[in-house]
Structure 1
Amino acid sequence: MQANERQQGTWSPDETPRNSKFYTDIELNGDEKHGNRNQSPTATASTSESHNDNTPHHDRHYDDGQPFPWRRHKLTIRQRLQHFTWAWYTLSMSTGGISLLIFALPFQFPGLRVIGWIFYVSNLIIFTCITAAMLMRFIFHKGTFSSSLKHEREGFFFPTFWLSVATLITSTQRYVIQPHDTNLLWAIQTVFWGYAICTFALAVGQYCFVFSAHNFGLGTMMPTWILPIFPIMLTGTIASVIAETQPEIGRIPILVAGLTCQGLGLSVAFMMYAHMVGRLMSVGLPNREHRPGLFMCVGPPAFTVLALIGMAHSLPDNVALEVDDNFLDVRDVRTMALIVGGFMWALSLWWFFIAAISVLLSPPKFFHLGWWAMVFPNTGFCLATISVAKQFDNEGLRILATVMSAMVFIIYFVVLQSQIKAVWRQDILYPGRDEDFNDH
């Protein structure tokens, strides 16, 4: 019956029982798609050829040779929107990160700021479109809002919405707000405090829910577990960007809040690092398709470097901090921030090479939105490198930061092109192929 409906174009996968042939095909292809280390190529080939459909052998592959083991039923836009997940905000936060990186590049040239402005405006459009699509998903498909937040995989991507908001706040400060715009300065300060309150509630609430509703084994540890603490951590980064233009009466409270939030985020990230290393030691690297997610571990120490150095230099030059009846000069604070930043930068470098070598050993072949982890955390790493180079006034570090930034730009467009192609081919926005389906 279902086979006839598929041929007539009236069958909907969303109405198919979980044990149907449609989902069986998805699961059989999942081992091949996600690089199951226990499955041999021979087994994959025999499984693909055993499907009882009429697809010619030459139609089982894309033009570039990637396997195409069954003919996917064409879905309507409304049906595909059901699988439009929170992970789409990774596109927005990566675009915002690129705009910030362009603004901070050590070697500027005429027209570069215009390019950064284009990325900033593009991010506003992307964020608006993604938000509209998410709202349509929740309106057209009742119950998906609650289920998306509770889902054991998609739920961890909800914080990417707040990360996108963080990039919008910081890039707006860089490209729009001028020091003499008093009204806008107060507006951005209000937004900062609202963001800090919301992300703290997220960090507490989501982890409380995960602790009570899910039961994960160490072997299932993925870098996405860090995401709920990431937005509150970026409060420190936002503070380092906006504080220098704020009046002194509001600057110190912003810096104190940024410092405490940065410390909270980094501390929780360190606890997650312990689980991540334990998972890598006991189970090994994630499967091929999810290894780009390891780059998420680069982000926390990198953004901490950026936040500490930025906040230290946002302190007024005439500020003296009283510590045990002694006064700590602001220059001492800046020196301490640079020393701690050097420690944190080295940790980001270590995680970067762990992630890069893991991906190079077995490059992913099928697009996931998790590929954007190769962009956003690395923009933070590049920004941290630029900040350290500036403080040391080192030409070699400036050149290194520029080369790193160029590589991130290239990866951005490679991932963007792969995402567009995946949407066109129904590799994503399709049942069983998005973050609303637990495949690891």
Structure 2
Amino acid sequence: MSTWPKANDPIVKVSSVARHIHGWSWATYPVVMGTGAVYLTLSALKDHPPWLHTMEIVFWSISIFIWTLNALILTLQAILFPQRTLRLIQHPVEGSFVPLMALCLAPIFLGTLTYGKVSAGFAYILFWLYVSVALSICLPMLVVWFAEPHDLTHFTPAYAFLIFPMMLVGVVAFSVIRVMDPTQGRTMGVLLVGYFFQGLGFFMTFFYLCIYVMKIMTTGIYEGHQANAAFIVCGPPGFTAFALINLSKYSRQILASQPDLEISGEMWYSTNVLAALMLYGLAIYFFAFDVLPYWNKLHRTRQGLDEILGYWALTFPNVGWIQATRSFGDVFGYEVFNKIHLIMTIIICCIWGILVVLTAKAFWKRKILISSADDVLKDAWLWPRRPAGTGPVLVHEDLESAVAFQRSPMGNGGPGLSSGTTTASVSMVNLGKPDLDMYQRPTRPATRFYESTDRTKEDR
């Protein structure tokens, strides 16, 4: 049963900053991936004017800023609201986004190798740093995720994000080899480790692709925001094809410098290009299978802004097969591959621009990345606790609303703040506004009040 606050009950204000920190999500990392998709595809264009290079550096800098901002806010969330962080990590869907913190380092490191004057030694350090971060995040999250049973009828392709960082090791590997001496022994080590993790990542995600096909056979094609997640399945075959082409290209130089392995380089190259072409076909099939019914399955409503973060899956997972298209243009010499790559790059840039506007709009309208004041208080272990036996804490987000509430009939003769409440008792919530004159402000209906009690959400 609800308990109305009395005159002497403490009033606590929960700031918007605290609500945003509490409501922040690991699902913000696809924004970094989407930004990385722009400069990665732009950097591979055949015709590359100087102004385009400057634009790529701008997008690369934006991705670094967003990654750092996400890491900072999620660290603050873990310190101030540890229960919230623990729930996110253990959540079957939200927890699958945690490895994206490592995955986003792949496009950032690729940009570092492309736009920075990086030495071979520094590139070698970057490679092992990425491998270490990917393993340190993916392996614990896999243990946490598989510790509980999961209903396959609720399967989403986002589950494959638990493996994605390890699958991108091959892409990082050939980018590092590009600036290293092929005759050095450690270059051979990078090549072998790249193949090792590329195979591990692809075959593990391939099992997820099988579950995806089984899921749509039993329940039909995904609808709503899950229609965006369906594009994730384009990632494993696309990125693996991209990695195999480029790893095999450098393997010819590396193996040629090894005794008795001169012919092996050509064999690796031929077999890898053949395998990449078949995987490329699978990626194109999944893309076409997802894009054809996409418009009919999408929820085109204003409420769709609540799901805007899921739309970023339209970008980065498709980068693999788009970049593989450009690589096939170099391998076979057909100009049509380069034209397809140009068209898809333009589409990626347009989608990025639309998503940035919609994401900013959703954030401004408080549709995403924000929690209620009551949820903030329940998870805040540093927040002052009310003494046992006292009345409930009246939580509000706006001092003017509190003043209006006091002057309303509810605060004067009705349930709510009693008529004896003084200006001082209300101004105790006036954090940062000590000179606010409550009688000079226009009144408005009391809204967005919450009772912070010991009852559970189900009891409310």
Gaps of 5+ in 2: 6-10, 373-460
Q: Distance in 1 between matches of 2:261 and 2:56?
A: 44
1:169 maps to what in 2? 109
1:358 maps to what in 2? 293
Where do 4+ consecutive residues of structure 1 move more than 6 Å? 1-5
The one-letter code matched in structure 1 to 2:275 is V
Question: Quick one: which of 335, 345, 356 aligns to 1:395?
Answer: 335
Superposed displacement of residue 431, structure 1: 4.0
- 1:129-278 aligned at under 5 Å gives the runs 129-178=69-118, 181=119, 185-212=120-147, 214-247=148-181, 248-278=184-214
1:186–1:288 CA distance, 2 compared to 1 (3 A): same
1:430 maps to what in 2? 370
1:3–1:320 CA distance, 2 compared to 1 (3 A): farther
- 1:9-24 aligned at under 5 Å gives the runs none
1:438 maps to what in 2? none
The answer on whether the counterparts of 1:240 and 1:308 sit within 8 Å (CA) in structure 2 is: no
The answer on whether the counterparts of 1:244 and 1:315 sit within 8 Å (CA) in structure 2 is: no
Question: Can you list the C-alpha shifts for 1:356-405, whole angstroms capped at 9, x where unaligned?
Answer: 12322222331321211101112222111111112111111110110011
Superposed displacement of residue 2, structure 1: 7.8
Question: Which structure has the highest helix share of the two?
Answer: 1
1:308 maps to what in 2? 244
Superposed displacement of residue 425, structure 1: 1.2
1:3–1:117 CA distance, 2 compared to 1 (3 A): farther
- 1:121-136 aligned at under 5 Å gives the runs 121-136=61-76
The one-letter code matched in structure 2 to 1:304 is T
Q: Which has the larger radius of gyration?
A: 2
Superposed displacement of residue 11, structure 1: 9.0
Superposed displacement of residue 320, structure 1: 4.3
Q: Which moved more, 1:376-385 or 1:236-245?
A: 376-385
Q: Distance in 1 between matches of 2:213 and 2:146?
A: 20
The one-letter code matched in structure 2 to 1:421 is K
Superposed displacement of residue 327, structure 1: 6.1
1:345 maps to what in 2? 280
The answer on whether the counterparts of 1:288 and 1:359 sit within 8 Å (CA) in structure 2 is: no
Q: Distance in 2 between matches of 1:191 and 1:321?
A: 24
Q: Distance in 1 between matches of 2:105 and 2:3?
A: 45
Task: Flag the structure with more relative contact order, 1 or 2, with Cα contacts below 8 A and sequence separation at least 6.
Answer: 2
The one-letter code matched in structure 1 to 2:102 is W
- In the superposition, the TM-score normalised over structure 1's length comes to 0.76
Q: Which moved more, 1:297-306 or 1:311-320?
A: 311-320
Question: Quick one: which of 56, 60, 77 aligns to 1:120?
Answer: 60
1:250–1:427 CA distance, 2 compared to 1 (3 A): same
2:28 maps to what in 1? 88
Is 1:414 the equivalent of 2:350? Answer: no
The one-letter code matched in structure 2 to 1:277 is V
Q: Which moved more, 1:328-337 or 1:279-288?
A: 328-337
1:333–1:151 CA distance, 2 compared to 1 (3 A): same
- In the superposition, the TM-score normalised over structure 2's length comes to 0.73
- 1:63-102 aligned at under 5 Å gives the runs 76-102=16-42
Q: Distance in 1 between matches of 2:355 and 2:254?
A: 46
Superposed displacement of residue 322, structure 1: 9.2
Superposed displacement of residue 202, structure 1: 3.7
Q: Distance in 1 between matches of 2:299 and 2:12?
A: 31
Q: Distance in 2 between matches of 1:132 and 1:428?
A: 18
SS of equivalent residue, structure 2 residue 263: strand
Paired residues in the alignment total 360
Q: Which moved more, 1:195-204 or 1:155-164?
A: 195-204
CA RMSD, 1 decimal: 2.5
Question: Quick one: which of 184, 197, 216 aligns to 1:280?
Answer: 216
SS of equivalent residue, structure 1 residue 246: coil
Q: Distance in 2 between matches of 1:312 and 1:3?
A: 70
The answer on whether the counterparts of 1:244 and 1:251 sit within 8 Å (CA) in structure 2 is: no
SS of equivalent residue, structure 1 residue 143: helix
Gaps of 5+ in 1: 15-74, 433-440
Aligned sequence identity (%)? 22
Superposed displacement of residue 215, structure 1: 2.0
